Amino acid sequence: GENVGLHLPTLSVQEGDNSIINCAYSNSASDYFIWYKQESGKGPQFIIDIRSNMDKRQGQRVTVLLNKTVKHLSLQIAATQPGDSAVYFCAESAHSGTYKYIFGTGTRLKVLA
């Protein structure tokens, strides 16, 4: 959305460097986590997910790390490109009976040329 990034923390990264975006989640019962990317004026787009029985999952240029002990999730983007500039959200869900999703407030990633 156009104005949703006004109050967000911003991570500025040089093109070609690796980016690490962090997220603290709230519910120790959450067992499914997703990272979304939202470009200006568009809806969120799925990047990668991970279930609580894993602590790492890799995709194309992205890796998600899950630390259940401290309720922390991170998204690593390798060789950051200008097209990676967007707002990134983590989301958590507990599938044991409910299908509610709780989203983080987001981090804006700015890729510097």
Partner 1 sequence: EAQVTQNPRYLITVTGKKLTVTCSQNMNHEYMSWYRQDPGLGLRQIYYSMNVEVTDKGDVPEGYKVSRKEKRNFPLILESPSPNQTSLYFCASSSTGTSGRQVGEQYFGPGTRLTVT
* Binding positions for partner 1, rule: CB under 8 A: 1, 3-8, 32, 34, 42-46, 49, 89, 91, 93, 95, 98-106
Q: Which lies closer to partner 1 via its Cβ, residue 56 or residue 100?
A: 100
Question: Which of 2, 3, 4, 9 has its CA nearest to residue 107?
Answer: 9
Q: Cα 52 vs. chain centroid, distance in angstroms?
A: 16
Q: Which lies closer to partner 1 via its Cβ, residue 3 or residue 69?
A: 3
The least CB distance from residue 89 to partner 1, in Å, is: 6
The least CB distance from residue 108 to partner 1, in Å, is: 12
Contact 20, 75 (CB under 8 A): yes
The least CB distance from residue 6 to partner 1, in Å, is: 5
Strand partners, 21: 75
In angstroms, rounded to a whole number, what is the distance separating the alpha carbons of residues 73 and 82?
23
